[in-house]
Structure 1
Amino acid sequence: MTENRAATWRKRRRAEQPMVPEAKFESYYGKPVLNAPVWHSPDIPGYLFLGGLAGASSVLGAGAQATGRPTMAAISKAGAFGAVSLSLAALIRDLGRPKRFLNMLRVLKVTSPMSVGSWLLAGYAPLAGVAAFSAVTGKFRLIGTAATAGTTVLGPAVAAYTAALVSDTAVPAWHDGHREMPYVFVGSGATAAGGLALLAAPAAESGPARTFAVLGAAVENGAFRLMQRRLGMVAEPYRTGKGGKYVRAGEILSAAGVAGALLTRRDGVLRRLSGAALVAASAALRWGIFHAGMDSANDPKYTVVPQRQRADGQKS
């Protein structure tokens, strides 16, 4: 009798359903767990894209000058100055007033990517302007060479620091990708700089631009795919929603641009089309990263699930 009662109790226990419903990834009053950055499009994604284009173009322009390609050097340096000027304008527009940018220059805080980036831009932009003026007009060549050397040193940092800027936030799709994000941003900047030179430079001088763009695209796409694989479910916003659409567009444009750059060395129209595609691919990726990050900040599951997984891993 006792054994029958015990068996019956076990059956009932197995048949019991949990009284607490499955947890949903919600927060009080439907609010996100995180406060998303108060950044807006197109200002901030444009700022991210143009900074990468500027920094990489300075490096390409210095290489063109050193190898006797004056037209490509002038185009790259002018592109760098134009891009950093527009990048600053986009940043100031998002800040709301120029005084806020100047206030960031009152102190240098090495632990703040925004503070370091502001000082980088403040030092880089005048040098880029001098280098571009000298290359385009042919005047003040000694000063222009010194300015070019300065932009060559600061250019890589200008192209990369925005990766640290977004990764230093609590936004899951950005912060969790901090290992690969600098390679993605630098590669994307090189893709855009090489594409700009292919778009505007003469065919006889465009060889290094082609190599620069193809290598940049390889680094960008390789690092981005590695980042998505490592992030797991946190990478979902890079494949869905508005961010996913931009990322897919960037992948298509990048593939078309690389194919065109490798296969069309003499055809001016196709070479320029491939250059335009590479520039557009770099821009699309930055817009995709921006929107994916904002989506991940607004959806509680991208914050809650990784935290639970880390906690379970520590317990085990």
Structure 2
Amino acid sequence: MKRPQEYPSSYYGRPIINAPTWKELDVAGYLFLGGLAGASSILAAGASVTGRPAVERRSGACATTAITLSLVALVHDLGRPKRFLHMLRVAKPSSPMSVGVWLLSAYAPLAIAATASDVTGVARPLGRASGLGAAGLGAGVCTYTAALIANTAVPAWHDGHRELPFLFAGSAASAAGGFALMTAPLAQTGPARRLAVAGAVAELASERLMERRLGMVAETLHTGKAGRRLKAAKALAAGGAIVAGTLGGRSRTAAVVGGAALVAGSALTRFGIFAAGMTSAEDPRYTVEPQRARKAAREAATAGVRAD
């Protein structure tokens, strides 16, 4: 008789959990572009208030372009535009998907209106109000996708639910700041440079904390396609932050190089996290072993209480 494996590979040849059927380019791109859009709107609003018109215009245009492409990617993954519209038939606060759809439906028109007003010069007071409104929703746009993927059974995402919002927020901030460094004059990029560096630090620190708390599931962050992407993302985030923080205020070349590294690092972070989640869903060990560990911890705690 064949001895059972310690970690069963499947049940009658089927995975223990069903991995999401999401398309990598669509969904990982959607995660990155949404974060870039939300953080860019916040940066554009700050630039508007502090008199930095070049940063305001370029960050606003970035937000509009990014959210448009993000929505295209989302609808493409859904298969039919009607599926997106059908989700607007109800509002379910307990569902990250429902909250996200309504958030995007409110944010995207505001971001587009702000950019259109800035480019055309028409209805500037309304455009400025739209920009401030988009900035107000920007933080949610940056981070709700973390709640969206953490609200699944995928071990690498679900078990990292505490750190993922901070990781996504930091990644979005570094990308938005990096884009502004690449495109705006040096004299106006001081706040963008500080945002980029702070975002990169938050991204790296949050990812490190998540790795420690994931336990053995953290293997998915270091191996295979996800490992290669996240290793490159860390190098780009750290290198970009150093270059932007030390030389980005004096050298146009350094600002462009540092900014590009931060944007690329942010994108690789989202694609790496996506790949890690898919790997953890496909390998039953990452579902079974953490469950056994939690069960053993509960039993030990119960036994300790009874002994007392």
Q: Which of the five TM-score ranges fits, normalised by the shorter chain? A: over 0.9
Is 1:46 the counterpart of 2:34 in the alignment?
Answer: no
Give the percent of matched residue pairs that are identical in Structure 1 and Structure 2: 56
Is 1:55 the counterpart of 2:13 in the alignment?
Answer: no
Match of 1:215 in 2: 198
Is 1:185 the counterpart of 2:168 in the alignment?
Answer: yes
Compare 50-59 and 126-135 and name the one that shifted more: 126-135
Is 1:115 the counterpart of 2:103 in the alignment?
Answer: no
Match of 1:129 in 2: 112
Match of 2:209 in 1: 226
Q: CA RMSD in A?
A: 1.2
Match of 2:262 in 1: 278
Indicate the SS of the match to 2:89: coil
Is 1:95 the counterpart of 2:78 in the alignment?
Answer: yes
The alpha-carbon deviation at position 41 of structure 1 amounts to 1.2
Is 1:197 the counterpart of 2:152 in the alignment?
Answer: no
Q: How many residues align?
A: 298
CA distance in structure 2 between the aligned counterparts of 1:41 and 1:178, rounded to whole angstroms: 20
Q: TM-score, normalised by structure 2?
A: 0.94
Indicate the SS of the match to 2:275: helix
Indicate the SS of the match to 2:93: coil
The alpha-carbon deviation at position 287 of structure 1 amounts to 0.1
The alpha-carbon deviation at position 270 of structure 1 amounts to 2.1
Decide which of 276, 299, 302 is 1:315's aligned counterpart.
299
Offset from partner CA, 1:50-88 (integer Å, 9 cap, x none): 000000000000001111000100001110010000000
Is 1:238 the counterpart of 2:221 in the alignment?
Answer: yes
Q: TM-score, normalised by structure 1?
A: 0.92
Which consecutive residues of structure 1, in runs of 5 or more, have no partner in the other structure?
1-18
Match of 1:263 in 2: 246
CA distance in structure 2 between the aligned counterparts of 1:24 and 1:206, rounded to whole angstroms: 53
* Larger Rg belongs to: 1
The alpha-carbon deviation at position 20 of structure 1 amounts to 4.7
CA distance in structure 2 between the aligned counterparts of 1:20 and 1:114, rounded to whole angstroms: 43
Letter in 2 for 1:303: T
Match of 2:277 in 1: 293
The alpha-carbon deviation at position 33 of structure 1 amounts to 0.6
- After the TM superposition, which residues 154-173 of structure 1 pair with which residues of structure 2 at under 5 Å, given as runs? 154-173=137-156
Letter in 2 for 1:104: M
Offset from partner CA, 1:99-136 (integer Å, 9 cap, x none): 11111111111111111101111110000001111223
Structure 1 segments (4+ residues) deviating >3 Å: 19-22
